[in-house]
């Protein structure tokens, strides 16, 4: 259909246009996508067998939807992607405040305009990208913001009395007629404001300052809520919950592979991985494992959750740590080192809500603990298990490495060490090469140094080596030497 040629109501009728509700639009286009194996929610990972089927069922049922889940679970993104299920363009009466359907107008101004001009009534076209409205629910939101109020300036300009409904200034919801309207963090909305939504959801009529307007608003409501809000800040009033057709529970990624996919997709600076910074796959695994450990940590408030944004910002910080070192040393390209994980601590401390014990220890301490826990969790997947108790004459795969530290004065790993000096420092620890060659022989040349440093950090976590942070880097030692120095 050539939208540019259809400029009047008469043109629209001659073109055979048929009106349908927004819920029918969403339903029909979803049916088309399912039949043709088209992904309606591209870029959403880990929800293929859980959230997306439930969301599609809700759309097919023409339901208003509540997405319930902790922060950073793509609730708002799911809502925004639903605009892709709308028709590309819809017609509306030109200058209509509420996007009146030319074939079924509901506002007084549009009805009178069509009555006056008939088939010559001008129409405009609304693109689907302009049919998404979003409001963050905050305690200061008023009924006037959402529904509307009397506009004294309009009354004066039009020389109308306050008894005339044309003096009404429509709020966000009427102006979102024939659109998707999202209210984020619904429990934060005051109960009396939630009550104002009852009739809109069910009967379609609204009341403004005594005016009872029968506006059959055509809308797709999507609400988002955090379970924590139900107790900490507010609640969704029961009659409103009763009017929301489907409540869908979202969740965090179920495994590291999905989490890595999300992080790589969302990280703004990942182009640097091809140009400046090489990132070993193990580094990406450790990064994601930190989030998994945080969600299970005794120091972190599980009710608050750990957003996927933590991994994204941490990944960006990880790249920046290596990039800064590269710039300082005048290197064109560098690789992520395990010691670069120090640089992600600000991304962790700003993203986790700590319980009392965590607050007592401090955010930086908790961040380091999470990095250590992630290292400890992944190590057995690559190398033999390190037992806590070993018999006196029992040999372990790590004896030669521990002996190397015992016979030498330890290892100082400076943060800003250039790549050549770093390589020489790692190469002098021959037992590291032997361990990688024996247990991870397929490790690529680019990943080898990170794997070696991974072993060092893991042995520290398993109390086989000691590690100390000083101003310019880290110092690794065997436990006995460290104990003697302490005395």
pLDDT in tens, 63-110: 999 999 998 999 999 999 999 999 999 999 999 989 999 999 988 889
Are residues 91 and 206 located together in one domain of the fold? yes
Mean pLDDT, the chain, integer: 88
Residues 233 and 345 in one domain: no
Does the pLDDT at position 212 exceed 80?
no
Mean pLDDT of 105-124: 91
DSSP letter, residue 120: G
Instruction: Note whether 12 and 155 are same-domain residues.
Output: yes
**129 and 210 share a domain?**
yes
CA separation for the pair 168, 135 (Å, rounded): 21
* Beta strand segments in 171-267, E: 180-184, 206-208, 211-213, 220-225, 246-249
The pLDDT-based confidence of 5 (bands split at 50, 70, 90) is: confident
C-alpha triplet 390, 392, 396: angle, nearest 5° = 50
Q: Tell me which H or E stretch contains 132.
A: strand 132-136
What residues contact residue 18 under an 8 Å CB cut-off, 6+ apart? 103
| pLDDT at residue number 389 | 66
Q: Which two tokens stand for residue 109?
A: 């101004």
Is residue 232 over pLDDT 60?
Answer: no
CA distance 106 to 104: 7
Of 435, 442, 288, the closest CA to residue 371 belongs to 288
Which CATH number goes with the domain that contains 146? 3.40.50.300
Are 289 and 344 found together in one domain? yes
Structure tokens at 215: 């506006």
Helix (H) or strand (E) holding 370: helix 363-378
Residue showing tokens 């919801």: 173
Got the DSSP string for 283-294?
HHHHHHHHHHHH
Residue 130 makes CB contacts below 8 A (sequence gap 6+) with none
- Tens of pLDDT, residues 414-449: 999 999 999 999 999 999 999 999 999 999 999 999
Task: Give the whole-number percent of the chain exceeding pLDDT 90.
Answer: 64
The DSSP H or E segment spanning 367 is helix 363-378
Residue 342 banded pLDDT, cuts 50, 70, 90: very high
Residue 231, pLDDT > 60, answer no
Give the residue from 229, 249, 269 where a domain finishes: 249
d(CA 351, CA 56): 31
Q: Is the pLDDT of residue 477 over 70?
A: yes
User: Does residue 362 contact residue 328 with C-beta atoms inside 8 Å?
Assistant: no
Residues 168 and 274 in one domain: no
Handedness of CA 246, 252, 256, 261 (dihedral sign): positive
**pLDDT given at position 54:** 97
Name the least confident of 87-101, 207-221, 347-361, 457-471.
207-221
Please tell me whether residues 241 and 260 are part of one structural domain. no
E strand residue ranges, 250-359: 277-278, 334-335
pLDDT for position 234: 63
Spatial separation of the C-alpha atoms in residues 250 and 67, rounded to whole Å: 7
Angle between helices 430-439 and 399-407 (to 10 degrees): 170
Q: Is the pLDDT of residue 486 over 60?
A: no
Residue 248, φ and ψ in degrees, nearest 5: -115, 130
Is 186 a residue whose pLDDT tops 70? Answer: yes
Q: Which H helix or E strand runs over 469?
A: strand 465-470
Q: Can you tell me the distance from the alpha carbon of 213 to that of 207, in angstroms, rounded to the nearest whole number?
A: 6
In this structure, are residues 18 and 27 in contact, taking their beta carbons and an 8 Å threshold? no
- Where is the domain boundary, 249, 271, 290? 249
Of 216, 231, 249, the residue that ends a domain is 249
Pairwise pLDDT comparison (58 vs 210), residue with the higher score: 58
Locate tokens 């007592």: which residue? Answer: 360
Give the range with max mean pLDDT: 192-196, 218-222, 394-398.
218-222
pTM metric for this prediction: 0.86
Residue, of 391 and 397, whose pLDDT is higher: 397
Are residue 280 and residue 427 in the same domain, yes or no? yes
Q: Domain range for residue 108?
A: 3-249
Give the Å distances, CA to CA, from 41 to 14, 46, 82, 262: 35, 11, 8, 14
Q: What percent of the residues of the chain are helix, what percent strand, and what percent coil, each to the nearest 5?
A: 50, 15, 35
* Nearest partner of 412 among 420, 402, 422, judged by Cα: 422
Residues 331 and 361 in one domain: yes
Q: How far is CA 341 from the centre of its chain?
A: 22
Residues 239 and 297 in one domain: no
Q: How far apart, in Å, are the Cα atoms of 361 and each of 298, 346, 355, 364, 368?
A: 12, 16, 10, 8, 11
Beta carbons of 201 and 239 less than 8 angstroms apart:
no
Least confident segment among 45-54, 98-107, 155-164, 248-257: 155-164
Q: Which residue has the tokens 């004065």?
A: 409
Q: Are residues 69 and 53 in the same domain?
A: yes
Give the pLDDT of residue 242.
87
> What per-residue confidence (pLDDT) applies to 87?
95
Domain count, the chain: 2
178 and 49 in a common domain? yes
Least confident residue range of 27-36, 247-256, 400-409, 476-485: 476-485
Collapse the DSSP code of 92 into the 3-class scheme (helix H, G, I; strand E, B; otherwise coil) and give the result.
Answer: strand
């Amino acid at each position: 259909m050539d939208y540019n040629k259809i400029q009047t109501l008469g043109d629209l009728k001659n073109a055979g246009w048929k009106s349908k509700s927004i819920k029918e639009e969403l339903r029909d286009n979803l049916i088309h996508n399912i039949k043709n194996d088209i992904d309606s929610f591209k870029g959403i990972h880990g929800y293929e067998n859980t959230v997306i089927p439930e969301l599609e069922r809700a759309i097919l049922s023409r339901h208003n939807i509540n997405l319930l889940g902790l922060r950073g679970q793509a609730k708002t993104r799911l809502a925004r992607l639903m605009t892709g299920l709308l028709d590309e363009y819809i017609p509306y009466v030109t200058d209509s405040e509420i996007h009146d359907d030319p074939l079924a107008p509901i506002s007084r101004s549009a009805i009178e305009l069509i009555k006056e001009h008939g088939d010559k009534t001008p129409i405009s076209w609304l693109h689907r990208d302009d049919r998404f409205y979003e409001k963050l629910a905050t305690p200061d939101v008023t009924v006037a913001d959402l529904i509307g109020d009397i506009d004294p300036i309009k009354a004066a300009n039009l020389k109308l009395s306050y008894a005339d409904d044309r003096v009404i200034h429509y709020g966000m919801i009427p102006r979102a007629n024939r659109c998707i309207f999202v209210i984020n963090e619904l429990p934060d909305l005051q109960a009396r404001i939630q009550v104002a939504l009852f009739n809109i959801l069910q009967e379609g009529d609204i009341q403004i300052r005594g005016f009872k307007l029968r506006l059959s608003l055509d809308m797709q409501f999507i609400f988002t809520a955090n379970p924590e809000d139900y107790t900490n800040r507010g609640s969704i009033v029961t009659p409103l919950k009763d009017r929301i057709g489907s409540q869908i529970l979202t969740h965090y990624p179920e495994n590291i592979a999905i989490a890595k996919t999300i992080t790589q997709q969302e990280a703004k600076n990942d182009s640097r991985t091809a140009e400046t910074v090489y990132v070993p796959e193990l580094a990406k695994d450790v990064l994601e494992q930190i989030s998994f450990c945080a969600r299970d940590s005794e120091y972190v408030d599980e009710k608050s959750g750990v957003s996927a944004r933590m991994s994204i910002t941490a990944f960006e910080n990880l790249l920046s740590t290596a990039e800064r070192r590269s710039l300082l040393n005048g290197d064109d390209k560098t690789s992520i080192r395990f010691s670069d994980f120090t640089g992600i601590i600000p991304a962790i401390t700003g993203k986790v809500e700590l319980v009392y014990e965590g607050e007592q220890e401090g955010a930086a301490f908790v961040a380091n603990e999470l990095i250590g826990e992630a290292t400890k969790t992944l190590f057995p997947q690559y190398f033999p298990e390190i037992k806590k108790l070993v018999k006196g004459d029992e040999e372990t795969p790590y004896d030669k490495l521990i002996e190397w530290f015992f016979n030498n004065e330890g290892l100082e790993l400076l943060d800003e060490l250039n790549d050549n000096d770093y390589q020489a420092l790692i190469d002098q620890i021959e037992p590291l090469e032997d361990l990688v060659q024996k247990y991870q022989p397929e490790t690529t040349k680019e990943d080898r140094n990170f794997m070696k440093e991974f072993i060092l950090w893991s042995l520290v976590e398993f109390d086989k080596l000691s590690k100390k942070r000083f101003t310019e880097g880290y110092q690794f030692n065997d436990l006995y030497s460290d104990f003697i120095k302490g005395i």
